[in-house]
Chains A and B, each alone.
Chain A
Amino acid sequence: NAGVMQNPRHLVRRRGQEARLRCSPMKGHSHVYWYRQLPEEGLKFMVYLQKENIIDESGMPKERFSAEFPKEGPSILRIQQVVRGDSAAYFCASSLSSGRGTGELFFGEGSRLTVL
Chain B
Amino acid sequence: GEDVEQSLFLSVREGDSSVINCTYTDSSSTYLYWYKQEPGAGLQLLTYIFSNMDMKQDQRLTVLLNKKDKHLSLRIADTQTGDSAIYFCAEPRDNYGQNFVFGPGTRLSVLP
Query: Could you tell me which A residues sit within 8 Å of B by CB distance?
Result: 4, 31, 33, 35, 41-45, 48, 55-56, 91, 93, 95, 97-105, 107-110
Contacts and interface: CB of A to CB of B under 8 A. Distances in A.
Nearest to A103: B98
Given A42-B105, A101-B30, A33 B99 contact: yes
B11 interface: no
Contacts of A101: 29-31, 91-92, 98
Given A41-B104, A101-B29, A91 B43 contact: yes
13 contacts: A44-B102, A55-B97, A56-B97, A93-B42, A95-B97, A98-B98, A100-B30, A100-B96, A100-B97, A102-B31, A104-B45, A104-B98, A110-B42
Contacts of B29: 101
B97 A43 contact: no
Nearest to B86: A42
A114 to B, nearest CB: 14
- Give the interface size bracket for B toward A: 20 to 34
Interface of B: 4, 29-31, 35, 40-45, 48, 88, 91-105
A40 B59 CA distance: 30
Contacts of A55: 96-97
Given A101-B31, A102-B30, A108-B42, A56 B100 contact: no
A105 to B, nearest CB: 5
A100 B43 CA distance: 19
B42 A33 contact: no
A45 B41 CA distance: 18
Given A55-B97, A100-B30, A103-B98, A43 B88 contact: yes
Nearest to A95: B98
A73 to B, nearest CB: 21
A90 to B, nearest CB: 11
A100 B92 contact: yes
Given A41-B104, A56-B94, A101-B29, A109 B99 contact: no
Given A55-B96, A93-B43, A102-B30, 4 more contacts: A31-B98, A33-B97, A44-B102, A110-B41
